[in-house]
């Protein structure tokens, strides 16, 4: 497998790679700028590269920490570790505590939400603001339908063939979650690179299967604990939501407003699930304005 450690993707990812080891797994992150930390969390099947257009502006005034979850980006992709929500939270928490970050603004999308908030509800004193981008941290009732591709990926054998064999999380789900499809060519190579073969795609397959639907799912207890403790994070919050998202649709805004009625709300018509790719400048401006008004 190609070593991506120093890969800059034609200069679009010029950031010095940093690594943190937790329980034998080497986890990659970037750490740019100084000031109050903004920690930006990706989901599936992306990596820190998703925030490459956020870091230059935000790092002028803040310290930007952008980790890659286990199995993604420049982090290790071990075959002998549990790719569960609990383990991802544990990895992320270990990094946050090792860096001893305080007054954190969490920016979270997709699985970045439950992972970031999984840390946040245990360490609320470290969290100063929340930026919620098309994510969730809620129990899902038994029988709730998921996006059709996610349902297929969850099926035994079918999922392996589609995700590990054909790399369809990257080649199918990711393009389906982009509104400005004319931009796909410029960034797809950087999202393909971490997943060149069957074994490297173990994390992308595990995430859809770890969506906790119903009370019996192994990760339901973890997600339920997060949901039940979200009220501990009584901090300034902004919800920036892409309205064209097929996977985490606009009704989830109401669920978040139920938890954080004080939250600001910004709806973006011209963005889909991977809104950081669709409208990065607009989102960065909203975050900067939010930071200024909530010093």
Split at pLDDT 50, 70, 90, the class of 288 is very high
pTM (two decimals): 0.98
Average of per-residue pLDDT across 235-249 = 97
Catalytic residue among 69, 88, 273, 278: 273
Residue 223 has pLDDT above 70, yes or no: yes
125-144 per-position pLDDT tens digit = 999 999 999 999 999 999 99
Task: Determine contact, residues 212/219, Cβ cutoff 8 Å.
Answer: yes
Alpha-carbon distances, residue 283 vs 79, 175, 239, 243 (angstroms): 36, 20, 11, 14
Task: Determine contact, residues 39/107, Cβ cutoff 8 Å.
Answer: yes
CA gap 261, 259 in Å, rounded: 6
Average of per-residue pLDDT across 156-167 = 97
Average of per-residue pLDDT across 154-170 = 96
**Whole-number pLDDT of residue 190:** 98
Average of per-residue pLDDT across 68-91 = 98
Residue 237 has pLDDT above 90, yes or no: yes
Alpha-carbon distances, residue 287 vs 23, 81, 148, 239, 241 (angstroms): 34, 35, 32, 10, 13
Average of per-residue pLDDT across 110-132 = 98
**Whole-number pLDDT of residue 233:** 98
More confident residue, 149 or 283: 283
- Residue boundaries of the structural domains of the chain: 18-293
Answer yes or no: 273 catalytic: yes
For the sheet containing 264-268, what is the strand order? 18-22, 25-32, 63-67, 37-41, 104-110, 127-135, 237-242, 264-268
Catalytic residue among 245, 254, 262, 266: 245
Split at pLDDT 50, 70, 90, the class of 56 is very high
Selection from 126, 71, 121, 106 nearest residue 226 by Cα: 121
Residue 110 has pLDDT above 60, yes or no: yes
Q: For 18-293, which CATH class?
A: alpha beta
Catalytic residue among 68, 110, 210, 278: 110
Mean pLDDT score across all residues of the chain = 97
Answer yes or no: 110 catalytic: yes
Task: Determine contact, residues 94/202, Cβ cutoff 8 Å.
Answer: no
CB atoms within 10 A of CB 287: 23
**Whole-number pLDDT of residue 197:** 97
Split at pLDDT 50, 70, 90, the class of 1 is low
């Amino acid at each position: 497998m190609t070593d991506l450690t120093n890969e800059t993707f034609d200069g679009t990812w010029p950031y010095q790679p940093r690594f943190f080891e937790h329980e034998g797994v080497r986890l990659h992150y970037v750490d740019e700028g100084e000031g109050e930390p903004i920690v930006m969390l990706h989901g599936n099947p992306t990596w820190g590269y998703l925030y490459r257009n956020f870091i230059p502006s935000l790092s002028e005034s803040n310290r930007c920490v952008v980790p890659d979850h286990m199995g993604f980006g420049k982090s290790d992709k071990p075959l002998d570790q549990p790719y569960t929500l609990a383990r991802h939270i544990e990895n992320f928490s270990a990094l946050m505590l090792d860096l001893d970050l305080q007054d954190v603004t969490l920016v979270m999308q997709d699985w970045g939400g439950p992972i970031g908030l999984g840390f946040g509800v245990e360490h609320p004193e470290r969290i100063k603001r929340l930026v919620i981008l098309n994510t969730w941290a809620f129990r899902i009732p038994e029988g709730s339908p998921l996006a059709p591709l996610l349902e297929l990926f969850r099926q035994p054998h079918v999922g392996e063939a589609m995700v590990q064999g054909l790399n369809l999380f990257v080649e199918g789900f990711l393009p389906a979650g982009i509104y400005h499809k004319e931009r796909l060519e410029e960034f797809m190579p950087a999202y393909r690179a971490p997943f060149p073969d069957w074994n490297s795609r173990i994390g992308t397959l595990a995430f859809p299967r770890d969506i906790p639907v119903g009370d019996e799912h192994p990760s339901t207890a973890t997600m339920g604990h997060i949901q039940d403790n979200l009220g501990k994070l009584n901090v300034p919050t902004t919800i920036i939501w892409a309205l064209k998202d097929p996977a985490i649709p606009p009704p989830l805004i109401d669920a978040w407003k139920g938890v954080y009625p004080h939250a600001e709300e910004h709806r973006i018509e011209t963005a889909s699930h991977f809104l950081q790719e669709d409208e990065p400048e607009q989102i960065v401006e909203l975050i900067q304005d939010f930071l200024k008004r909530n010093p």
